[in-house]
Chains A and B, each alone.
Chain A
Amino acid sequence: MERNEAIEILAEGRGDAVSVVTMQSVYPWHQAGQGEIFHVDASQCMGSASSIGLGLAVARPDKKVMVLDGDGSLLMQLGSLVTIAGQSPANLYHFVFANGLHQSTGNQPLPAIGQFDWVALAKGAGYADALRIEAAEDLLERLPGIFAMTGPVLIELTIEREDREPLWAGVPMAKQTALLKEQLAASS
């Protein structure tokens, strides 16, 4: 599926979930109007989205937390799968946009593409469940069921290669963190 198709479906199905988004999903997430409420970008800290999501999920078990990660990004802190599994956050939904590329730096291929398996890695790390979705229509159909699952769940989204310059939302993370803290405090 195309990244923007996945973003539109996730934005539509998000409800009041807290979102943590990184790398090349940040710009389209903001363009889809999802950057103002219950949201933080993981900026300039490639690999940290999953850990930030874990902290939010532990702090607020009453809220669903969705992480929109990249495959190259998650590889940079792959151990976070095990750390997350160790805490068993039932409210954490970890979407991995898997295009096999470091898109932000010019579409360089990831190591061992076609050899490693996100679903197997997540299950092997101890996630409650993991699944792969390749087509946008399948994501649309399955998303409500995914949010009904007990986390942590990893959802690998097979994303097509995009040949374009990287895009960034340009919103300072400090502004977002203060706003998210305030919004979460007001919603308790």
Chain B
Amino acid sequence: MSNENSSANPALRQDGLGLSRRSFLRNSGAAVGGMAAAVAALSPLLELQADDIPTVDAFIQKHYKEMDEGEMQIALNRISAKVKERYDIEPNLRDIRPKEGVEFVYALNLSRCIGCRKCVYACVDENNQSRSPEIQYIRVLEMPMGTLDLEAGKHDYDRPKVPSGDHFYMPIQCHQCADAPCTKVCPVEATWTEPDGITVVDYDWCIGCRYCEAACPYWARRFNFSTPELEPEDINPDMSYLSNRPREKGVMEKCHFCLHRTREGKMPACQEVCPTGARKFGNVLDPRSEVSQILKTKRVFVLKEDVGTLPRFFYYFDERHARPEGQEG
């Protein structure tokens, strides 16, 4: 550089390399700029945490349906180790398969729901969703009496007390459709419907294209736009591969009827927390079950029946008008 500056008439002089001062400056400027651009482009790599880099096990892991028992065990061990490393919690992680002769169905009594949103947060507590940004599988619509037009519903109602006398409340979550549009659009088959009727996501196979989110008529799918924020005390260690194990940034997730609970005979978290008994869950193939009785004796309906998705989530009202606030129940 100093050599170049010291020469008397540098603009036209050619040195041994055939390089003028002007072209040198231009080229070196471009080179510095190019390098800076490359560094800038690669700079997100500096923020990579050690556990963001996939291990060999993670890289060669097969699709859920193609893994044999040994390969599944390797995957479970890898995920458990990661949970232990991140949250210092020993998870009870397993792969639970559907039961023979069981098809899960949900029924929700709109005459009983009071819109308290306990189900929303019991679900978050159970399923290790990101706390910030918030990911919630259930959203509760406050609907004016006398219409089922979802456009009239309000998500963010905030009152000192619920229910308000002139509204009813309509919780919406994944409807576990029998003809699910979300599974058809997935380009990598990372989501599918299981024999017991639950539509699941293989979080290790999802590429985050969000086609399924667009395809769902019920707005039931949630995307991890950023790394889920969870504190160790938020973690529910009772986990399964297809349900509530911690997710990564860039994958879809959704309600899975708490399959790590329900496939072992328990009730889903939202049913357990409901203070009014508006939520009903069971095996529709058992004619004695609560949901079979409801389908038999109540006037049930599904949301957006016209789109032909055949939901396994039914709504119904009791056969009487809803009561104004404070009257006998």
A binds B: no
| A→B interface (CB under 8 Å) | none
